Amino acid sequence: MVLVTDKKDWGYESELIKDIVAKVRTTSCPTLFSSVEENLVGIESRVEAVNSLLSEGVNDVRFIGIWGMGGIGKTTIAKILFDRISHQFEFTDFLSNVRKNEETSGLVHLQKELISRRLGRKETDISDVDEGATVIKKLLHHKKVLLILDDVSHLRQLKYLAGKQDWFGFGSIIIITTRNDHLLVKYEVTRRFAVQGLHTDEALQLFCRHAFKKDYPEPSYLDLSNRVVHYAKGLPLALEVLGSFLHGRGPSAWKNALGKLREVCNAEIFETLEVSYDGLDDKEKHIFLDIACFFNGYGKVYVTEMLDSCGFYATIGLDVLVERSLLTISDAGTLQMHDLLQEMGLEIVRRESPDEPGKRSRLCFLRDIDHVRRKITVTEAVEGILLWTADLADTGLHLNAKSFSMMKKLRLLMIQNYVHLSDDLEYLSSELRLLAWRKFPLQSLASLMNLQKLLAIQMRHSQIEYMWKGKKPLYSLKRIDLSHSLNLLKTPNFSGSPYLERLLLEGCVRLYEVESSVGFLERLVLMNLKNCKNLRLLPSSVSGLKSLKSLDLSDCAKLEKLPEDLGQLTSLEVLDVSRTALRELPSCIGLQKLKELRFAGCTGPPISKLLPSFDGLHSLTTLDLRFCNLLEGAIPNDLGCLSSLTKLYLDGNQFVSLPESLTQLYRLEVLFLVDCRNLQKLPKLPSGILVCAANCISLEIVPATYLSGASFYKCFKLLPPVRPYYYHITCIMKVDGEELPSKPASSFYETLGRGGSDNLWFHYVNSHPSYSHRVETAQWQKIDFSFQVKGQGLVVKKCGVRLVFEQDVEEVNANISDEALEFPRCDNGKAAVVSHDSSKRALPNSHGGGSSQRRGFVKMERIKTFIDQYKSEVHVSHAISKRGLPHSDGGESSTGRGFVKYGSVCFDEERRLKRLKRH
């Protein structure tokens, strides 16, 4: 020990003593949970995240909340933090299982535990929770305290165990773990951390530590291990329990256990998760089970509407499930329930009647439905049915229609595959809210009565020809979806469904009439008639659809006219008449709320006669006029008045220029001009606009502001004049060793171009006077070709050479269309030589050609056929480039000059003479 004296800045003696005590506690006291960090994976990042919350406001009294679903690791994080920081505090306590201890012993018992630990003795006389709260505050208000309240489930537990900030001294930290985030919100805990599941690699490592006692699986167990990890979905509890259970067992036992898990939830996991479910009220339990059985992955708005109609108060109920970590809602608004929570819900339903599925509240497995069908054990208990399995895609399932008459409480009927019915469907429960039957086998719903609570009819791909005749009282009906029902001829009478909001009939290709009663649907928001190929007109009564926001008539190929009073649809935001046969538009279409207007690909008269004045469309953000054969001047001059326009699609039109009024579109973000092949210039527009003008082959003038954020692919006229690549290649030809300078004829490039890829090019070498006579008279033995490559980046990799005879040229020209290449005839000989090579960079050229040639491209298949006929007479060798590529025998290179010499092209003399005689 060293004695320190006469230190002026040492401070008070009491502070020195505190520092010494803290140091001693840090170095000598064993931690409470010293073994908790063994076999943990992925915990450090989560501990650090909570630790960062602790560092805020170090002198304040801080309440920290850690929340998440059961088994996710909340308590583990709290224990690790307790061990790591407890030495910094004057008093510490970890109250485990607050929820369970209150249920078994009461809050007073928990208060006594806390007080006795502070006083260091067990005898504590507390009569009620209020007295206990007073004593705790008195004992701790001047102490720096670390208090962990684990698994808190009710507000009263916080109120009587932790009170408020004035219960504790400066620098105190109270950490609360709970499954209920809303509890933390109500208690005004602003520092909260939501614990998420492990990532896949972390989950596999944690599982392996328990199953194999190491960080990776045995090779023969890899697939089985991945299946377990997939099942656990990142839940540490499940990974640890299943890993320990499967440790030391063989592959067959693993497979058997996995099969069992699909039917029966593991008891330990189930009990942990069920705690959250038990804390729900009856309506919240109904919501949880309906989502687990039917609506996991569905949109929040849709499910809320459906469950509200059942009297479950779903808006607040869903919030409760989220707050208690039983449900999450994605950014896209879909409900997402953890797989193990969903399995817990299914297990809860199974336990209602383990041996008789017909007595359960919900049927959602094929085996259970088949059991009910065969045993005829269905009862009034059934509230929902889900039949959705790929196994029925071909054969289907046979059901007795009369069995539905026993289901008096049926609320939800969801059949997603073809099902055969023995009789007409004459009865469905009056409690039915959802009738979702994909591939419905009957021709109508006329026989169904008393469905006044029905909210939605969803029968995509059905066999329905008509729904019902006359007025049918369906006063709760909000959705009809008969999309792709190929036999539907006309819509039903809507006068008994005044609250309908969504009508979807896309792909009903035989539909020829929309009933005039559609005008009664004053609450209709969406009407989708896309691809109703036989629909010729809409009734004038559609003008009564005051709430309609979206009208899709695209691909109605026979639709020639819209109602004249379409302008009365004052709520309309989206109108799509793409690929229709419209001959005229209403004289007044000034829809002030319209945001999207689409005319793409209309097949009627020139679209310039159809386009309305844009005046008044102040809300329009998207205008689609693609492939409308718009000629010069066809776009109305008042285009610039579209002050809200952000997206303009003009692809595939014939105009030469764009109206100058485009400069007034200050909010424009996207301008598409793909395949506007006559367009020559673009006007100046505000910077920052994304312009896509690919394949505008006539485009010559582009303002500099477009140089960033634009695409001008295949706009060749925008390129500066560049010396063609083939002028960087010199062809040297030797006949029996005598060098004859030559180069590939540029005209062959102009018309033939690339042979199907950037790396394959064809060269045509005309007859030369100095050797044509020798070729004709067979006064030669060997012809050598070599190339001098000067172009930067050019690499010759392969070549092939053959003679082209007069008959060859005639045969090729006879098989090529007038728009394709005609091989030039030799001026003074019957034979010419064609070679082909490839390089890594080459561009087509299109600046003129010989008089004996026609523009176009030879099809690659024909060229290959033409060359392949004579493969036996040609020896093709690999070449060497200045990069030193390997070459075949007979080739040589001079890497200093970049000279490439090809292997000799040797023809069999006897075969050559025979061919010359034939020609």
> Predicted confidence band at 550 (pLDDT cuts at 50, 70, 90)?
very high
Cα–Cα distance, 51 to 546 (Å, whole number) = 56
| Choice among 158-172, 251-265, 546-560 with the minimum mean pLDDT | 251-265
- Higher-scoring residue by pLDDT: 793, 518: 518
For residue 188, is pLDDT > 50? yes
What are the pLDDT digits (tens) for 629-681?
888 888 888 888 899 999 999 999 999 999 888 888 989 999 999 999 999 99
Q: Are 563 and 587 in contact (CB under 8 A)?
A: no
Q: Identify the pLDDT of residue 395.
A: 59
> Predicted confidence band at 810 (pLDDT cuts at 50, 70, 90)?
low
Cα–Cα distance, 129 to 112 (Å, whole number) = 10
> Predicted confidence band at 846 (pLDDT cuts at 50, 70, 90)?
very low
Question: Percent of the chain at pLDDT above 70?
Answer: 72
Mean local confidence (pLDDT), 494-509: 96
CATH fold, domain 13-194, is Rossmann fold (3.40.50)
Q: Which amino acid is at 282?
A: D
What are the pLDDT digits (tens) for 257-308?
888 887 777 788 888 888 889 989 999 999 999 999 999 999 999 999 999 9
Q: Identify the pLDDT of residue 849.
A: 36
412-415 and 434-437 beta bridge pairing: parallel
For residue 493, is pLDDT > 70? yes
3-state SS string for 555-610: CCCCCCECCHHHHHCCCCCEEECCCCCCCECCCCCCCCCCCEEECCCCCCCCHHHC
Q: Which amino acid is at 764?
A: Y
> Predicted confidence band at 37 (pLDDT cuts at 50, 70, 90)?
low
Helix (H) or strand (E) holding 649: strand 647-649
> Predicted confidence band at 708 (pLDDT cuts at 50, 70, 90)?
low
- Higher-scoring residue by pLDDT: 628, 489: 489
> Predicted confidence band at 824 (pLDDT cuts at 50, 70, 90)?
very low
What are the pLDDT digits (tens) for 296-347?
999 999 999 999 999 999 999 999 999 888 999 988 899 999 888 998 999 9
For residue 423, is pLDDT > 70? yes
Helix (H) or strand (E) holding 901: strand 899-901
Mean pLDDT, rounded, of the chain: 78
C-alpha count within 13 angstroms, C-beta hemisphere, residue 488: 33
CATH fold, domain 595-719, is 3.80.10
Cα–Cα distance, 264 to 287 (Å, whole number) = 22
CATH fold, domain 269-351, is Arc Repressor Mutant, subunit A (1.10.10)
